[in-house]
Chains A and B, each alone.
Chain A
Amino acid sequence: MSAAPSRGQVLNLYKQFIKNANQFNNYNFKEYFLRRSRESFRANSKIQDPVELAKVYRDAQFDLAVLKRQSIISQLYTFDKLVVEPVAEK
């Protein structure tokens, strides 16, 4: 059983979620994972119980691994730009 994560650890995990989600080539996936990360972190931000917190943190680390793999796979393919995407993307 791992100890409850600190505030810094959680913020670092969130940062990694956002960074990896930003790397998706596909607009829909990118927006979905950004939205999903924001919502889940915000929903879990009220958790006080250390045991529950540790569990959520461990699950999130597992999800981050999935996210990293999928964002790399996404970068192997090219996707047509959607009309909603900004044209001059740097």
Chain B
Amino acid sequence: MFRQLLRTATPLAHRQAAIATKRTSIVPQSLMRYYSASGLTKDDVTTRIVDVIKAYDKSLAAKPISLESTYNKDLGLDSLDTVELIVAIEEEFEIEIPDKVADELKNVGETVDYIVSNPDAN
């Protein structure tokens, strides 16, 4: 049994070595991509953010939420509510939004744009 294992093991090792040399010869290092595209579409992000907003405050569920809806005026959220909403959005997309940027996000559209432009968002 052991001999049989040995017999199958050696050609396999040979084959792997062959594949390895082949691969390095085919793909030059400089052309390799070390990142993956985030793959988030604007529509996708928008629906997810709207869902987060509706889950955050039940009274907003009935309101129409568009890209132009401002947190403060249209949705009636004060600065503390907005901070909480941003935290919920951060958790949804598994990112950290720096305070400086978060301060500038006044409406849904700006938030969507920021998430789409953030490569870490998923």
Task: Name A residues whose Cβ lies closer than 8 Å to a Cβ of B.
Answer: 7-8, 11-12, 14-15, 18-19, 22, 38, 41-42, 45
Q: Are A11 and B87 in contact (CB under 8 A)?
A: no
Q: Known pairs A8-B103, A41-B80; list 4 more (Cβ under 8 Å).
A: A8-B99, A11-B79, A15-B87, A38-B84
Q: How far is the CA of A3 from the CA of B40 in the complex (A)?
A: 44
Closest CB in chain B relative to A12 CB, distance in Å:
6
- Quick check: is B19 within 8 A (CB to CB) of the other chain? no
B24 to chain A, nearest CB (A): 40
| Residues of chain A within 8 A of B83, CB atoms compared | 11, 14-15, 18
**CA A66 – CA B105 in complex, angstroms?**
30
Cβ proximity bits B76-96 to A, threshold 8 Å, 1 near / 0 not: 000110011011000100000
Least CB distance from B87 to A in Å reads: 5
Q: From B80, B87, B99, B103, give the contact of A19 (CB < 8 A).
A: B87
Nearest opposing residue in chain A for B92, CB measure: A90
A41-B80, A42-B80, A45-B80 as given contacts; A15 in contact with B91, CB under 8 Å: no
Shortest A39–chain B CB gap in Å is 11
- Measured CB to CB, the nearest residue on chain A to B96 is A19
Across the interface, which residues of A come within 8 angstroms of B99, CB to CB? 8, 11-12, 15
**Secondary structure at chain A's binding surface: helix, strand, loop or mixed?**
helix
B66-122 interface with A by 8 A CB criterion: 79-80, 83-84, 86-87, 91, 99, 103
Closest to B100 in A: A8
Contacts of A12 in B (CB 8 A): 99
Check if B87 sits within 8 Å of A22, measured CB to CB: yes
- Indicate if the CB atoms of A15 and B86 lie closer than 8 Å: yes
Q: How far is the CB of B51 from chain A (nearest CB, A)?
A: 13
How far, in Å, is A75 (CB) from chain B's closest CB?
16
Residues of B within 8 A of A22 (CB): 87, 91
Chain B residues with CB under 8 Å of A15's CB are 83, 86-87, 99
Contacts of A41 in B (CB 8 A): 80
